[in-house]
Chain A
Amino acid sequence: EPEVTQTPSHQVTQMGQEVILRCVPISNHLYFYWYRQILGQKVEFLVSFYNNEISEKSEIFDDQFSVERPDGSNFTLKIRSTKLEDSAMYFCASSEWGVVGEKLFFGSGTQLSVL
């Protein structure tokens, strides 16, 4: 089965630094997502992206966050100035049509640790 690939698997950074988390969605998919899971808490939606623009974002996704599809294959999440509370597992996902009830394909996640 096709896979969503995320790199790196672990990222350690100092508070205030910028980080970029990278994802390669499935090649024929059109919709892309970022979710995160803080340790011991629920998986939370951050943002969805379609046709080179954000289609929906949660209240978590403030001005410190941005997403980009810099080329035909990568999808990135940037955090401009990391805070301790940004420490979490970040999951990228993609889907083909973005319709209700459709299956999402998730990557294995990037564990971000902010020190």
Chain B
Amino acid sequence: GDSVTQMEGPVTLSEEAFLTINCTYTATGYPSLFWYVQYPGEGLQLLLKATKADDKGSNKGFEATYRKETTSFHLEKGSVQVSDSAVYFCALEPQETSGSRLTFGEGTQLTVNP
């Protein structure tokens, strides 16, 4: 079945450091790929998405590129801020379904220190 694997966490960085959170997936066809973020005390919020191969999703300085050849969707940000501290979830939605059944990765806790 479908699965998503994220890098081992947690991740601790200093402000303005470069961030990469790895995400790889297993699925048939061309799933849609997402990054959701959960700030403390809040629900999951969509950060960015890509719905076809080679698409780049971007938002709030974060980027991720849909790589079919490596089945990856790594999240990057050039300069993190303290306010980026949160849990980040990679997720996929199968190509052939509707109704938004998402398969999530484990989540990566990011802490950014001033």
Q: Report B30 CB to chain A, min CB distance, Å.
A: 10
- A91 at interface by CB-CB < 8 Å: yes
Per a CB cutoff under 8 Å, which of A4, A42, A50, A95 touches B104?
A42
The interface of chain B, by Cβ under 8 A from chain A, is 4, 32, 36, 41-46, 49, 51, 89, 91, 93-95, 97-107
- A65 at interface by CB-CB < 8 Å: no
- Chain A residues with CB under 8 Å of B36's CB are 106
Interface hits, A49-105 → B, CB 8 Å: 50, 55-56, 91, 93, 95, 98-105
The interface of chain A, by Cβ under 8 A from chain B, is 4, 6, 31, 33, 35, 41-45, 48, 50, 55-56, 91, 93, 95, 98-109
- Chain A residues with CB under 8 Å of B41's CB are 108
- Chain B residues with CB under 8 Å of A48's CB are 99-101
17 contacting pairs across A/B (C-beta < 8 A): A6-B43, A33-B100, A42-B104, A42-B106, A43-B89, A43-B104, A48-B99, A56-B97, A56-B99, A100-B97, A100-B98, A101-B93, A104-B44, A105-B43, A106-B36, A108-B43, A109-B43
